[in-house]
Chains A and B, each alone.
Chain A
Amino acid sequence: MAKFKRDKNERVLSIRDLNISFKTNFGTVRAIRGVRLDLFQGETIAIVGESGSGKSVTVKTMMGILDSNGMIDSGSIMYKCKDKDGVEHEYDLVKMSQKDIRYKLCGKHIAMVFQDPMTSLDPTMQIGKQIMEPILEHEEVSKKEAADRALQLLDEVGISEPAKTFRQYPHELSGGMRQRVVIAIAMACDPDILICDEPTTALDVTIQAKILEKIKEIQLKKNISVIYITHDLGVVAKVADYVAVMYAGRIVEKGNINEVFYDPRHPYTWGLLSSMPDVDTDSDRLFAIPGTPPNLMEEIKGDAFAPRNPYALKIDYREEPPMYDVGGQHRVASWLCDPNAPKVELPEELKVRIAKMKKEAGVQ
């Protein structure tokens, strides 16, 4: 695959200083704390992090499906698109009401594939009808045309007998087939952005590989942008051009996929990469990041990762690190990247692993 070049393409989405909090009975949870992210046309970005790190909340805001106790405190999400006549529009998704987003953008411009294909399909409705629904809703076409489009979509997502599947119900299909149907529904109105929220977590590895290859194929054909949300770094390596690692509501490291995987700078990314089981090593103990993620209900002082970080400096407990530019598109929020910081070496095991990965890939 040709390497994706950011500067050659147009920016479709830009998130700036986004802050989101949730009001609960026990207090306010600051789920997103100053997220800044760009998405370009035709690009695939992956947002990685543990559960509760705020990755799902970020994309839910784009879709206008934030839970009712969620509050956008500040920030903007600018989204650029062209309508049918080629007139360019720019929307600030933060300022739009949820209803407006749902009517103007969802499905038509931004579509989403959810984690569990059983709960995101209507069990009482035939597959074909479910795919036709968004087409009939958003476009002025006859039922016949919509049905033809649905059949074609089923064929595109790799279902072998579209006409038969068209009349089936979700419970008659296997998990992999169901997820293909969900992708077909998401693609029904030719969106510009496809958001995949853990699209393969509920599936097993053999089917996962096929689904990921299918999404990639569709993406190349239609030149759309894809946002993946996942905690599986293997999946990220397979699909993404650009990675953002989230921890406790902040992006701690982001950059081109090769920059982040071959030259990780943040201790949390080190931990994530080391805890991936590697098929080729003989070590019989897995590295585990000690401790648990912080409670976002309490105010976080300094770097949220500091208590779990063996490399934490004194300043990590006092002040939040800024985003450091470490060359290329690589940005890291860690005091270790400060020019005055002591030089810290990568953990030995990770160093060996990265050296081996580089050798396999043939890069220096």
Chain B
Amino acid sequence: MSENRKPLLHVENLKQYFRISRKQVTKAVDGISFDIYEGETYGLVGESGSGKSTTGRSIIRLYEPTDGKIIFNGHDISGKLTKEDEQYLRMNMAMIFQDPMACLNPRKKVKEIIAEGLEIHKLCKSQEEIDAKVNDVLDRVGLSREQATRFPHQFSGGQRQRVGIARALVMNPKLVIADECISALDVSIQAQVVNLMKDIQDDMGTTYLFIAHDLSMVKYISDRIGVMHLGHIVETGTTDEIFANPIHPYTISLLSAIPHPNPIVEKKRVAISYNKDEEGVDYNAGHEHSFSETHKVLATDEEIERWTNR
């Protein structure tokens, strides 16, 4: 579906290192490449510490990437940003954060939180125009207009996350990075938020980079999935390819760790564990193997043979 479309976001060999001391450097993201096409949802999954959140934050330039190229809709947003590129990035890319309490300013009213972006970029000529836009986006995320004058603490967790989504959407961005945006919510509320995000995508054609550790939720929302481990994307493919035909042992272990709500089956099942060192896998030695146009696995030739033959 996405082959002949132009990528909205092109990431090439992105590296994000953090210097801890003079001797020690943490390679949080170690040379990853992927494309996100317009209107699709790309899911990034992996355990904590795999670098998936760092990737999201590097793309939106909350960090200074160490190396690599990020092209966002024709604009190079890696390296030193020119004023125009920075402006373009800030107006067309938005982020939804994990903890809806921590990311909303407790001293501002919801209306002010949502309108902040519009005011900073001077997109509206009058207060009425701002109000109209805020009300519009509130309707879209399913909050009532009366609630706009409340403070974040007066909302429940699910509603707060809706405010976070409204804030991200008010600028009408091309790409929204959702960093674990449902992990802190209850199961029944998670479903509401995921459905809301899908509806918005259908209406507005927004593109999502959806970062999560819960593969079962990612399955519902993503068109394509990238599996990250220790700073590398070890496997990427369409949702069907990843779920029906996983090749990398890490992907297999992630899939087997999802608990199924079926008591008799679940009690007998033991999750497959994966240990990089026991398997003798060296991510740096591997290169990309293509199984289809979309399905790619990072491995050496010898590993591929071993994994495909089992």
Shortest distance in angstroms between B286's beta carbon and chain A's nearest beta carbon?
21
Please, which residues of chain A bring their CB within 8 A of the CB of B268? Answer: 1
Please, which residues of chain B bring their CB within 8 A of the CB of A235? Answer: 259
Point out which of A277, A287, A288 has the most chain B C-beta atoms below 10 A from its C-beta: A277
Shortest distance in angstroms between A6's beta carbon and chain B's nearest beta carbon?
16
Shortest distance in angstroms between A295's beta carbon and chain B's nearest beta carbon?
10
Could you count the A-B residue pairs with CB atoms below 8 Å apart for me: how many are there? 132
Residues of B138-182 at the interface with A, using a CB-CB cut-off of 8 Å, are 156-159
Of chain B, the residue at the smallest CB distance from A357 is B262
Given contacts A205-B214, A261-B261, A279-B258, contact A233 B187 (CB under 8 A): yes
* Cross-chain contact B265 with A361 (CB below 8 angstroms): yes
Given contacts A205-B257, A205-B258, A207-B47, contact A237 B263 (CB under 8 A): yes
* Cross-chain contact B267 with A205 (CB below 8 angstroms): no
Of chain B, the residue at the smallest CB distance from A360 is B265
Of chain B, the residue at the smallest CB distance from A208 is B257
Please, which residues of chain A bring their CB within 8 A of the CB of B243? Answer: 279
Shortest distance in angstroms between B193's beta carbon and chain A's nearest beta carbon?
9
**Interface flags, A232-276, vs B, CB<8A=1, else 0:** 111111101000000000000000011001100000000111011
* Cross-chain contact A277 with B259 (CB below 8 angstroms): no
Bound together, the chains give a CA A197 to CA B198 distance in angstroms of 32
Interface of B is mostly: helix
* B132 part of interface (Cβ distance < 8 Å): no
Interface size class of chain B, counting residues whose CB lies under 8 Å from the partner chain: 35 or more
Bound together, the chains give a CA A165 to CA B214 distance in angstroms of 29
* Cross-chain contact B265 with A213 (CB below 8 angstroms): no
Bound together, the chains give a CA A285 to CA B213 distance in angstroms of 20
Partner of A237, one of B49, B220, B259: B259
* Cross-chain contact B264 with A277 (CB below 8 angstroms): no
* A204 part of interface (Cβ distance < 8 Å): yes
* B266 part of interface (Cβ distance < 8 Å): yes
* B287 part of interface (Cβ distance < 8 Å): no
* B192 part of interface (Cβ distance < 8 Å): yes
Bound together, the chains give a CA A162 to CA B254 distance in angstroms of 27
Given contacts A204-B213, A279-B243, contact A238 B191 (CB under 8 A): no
* A171 part of interface (Cβ distance < 8 Å): no
* Cross-chain contact B259 with A232 (CB below 8 angstroms): yes
* Cross-chain contact B261 with A206 (CB below 8 angstroms): no
* Cross-chain contact B259 with A234 (CB below 8 angstroms): yes
* Cross-chain contact B260 with A237 (CB below 8 angstroms): yes
Given contacts A175-B48, A238-B259, A277-B216, contact A206 B192 (CB under 8 A): no
* Cross-chain contact A206 with B257 (CB below 8 angstroms): yes
Partner of B220, one of A51, A257, A261, A284: A284
Please, which residues of chain B bring their CB within 8 A of the CB of A276? Answer: 187, 216, 261
* B294 part of interface (Cβ distance < 8 Å): no
What are 17 contact pairs spanning A and B, CB under 8 A?
A205-B47, A205-B215, A206-B257, A206-B273, A209-B259, A213-B271, A231-B186, A233-B261, A237-B262, A237-B266, A275-B190, A278-B216, A279-B255, A285-B198, A286-B191, A292-B158, A357-B261
3 closest A-B pairs by CB: A234-B259, A361-B264, A209-B271
Q: Which of B's residues lie within 8 Å of A, judged by CB?
A: 47-49, 156-159, 186-192, 194-195, 198, 213-217, 219-220, 243, 253-271, 273-274
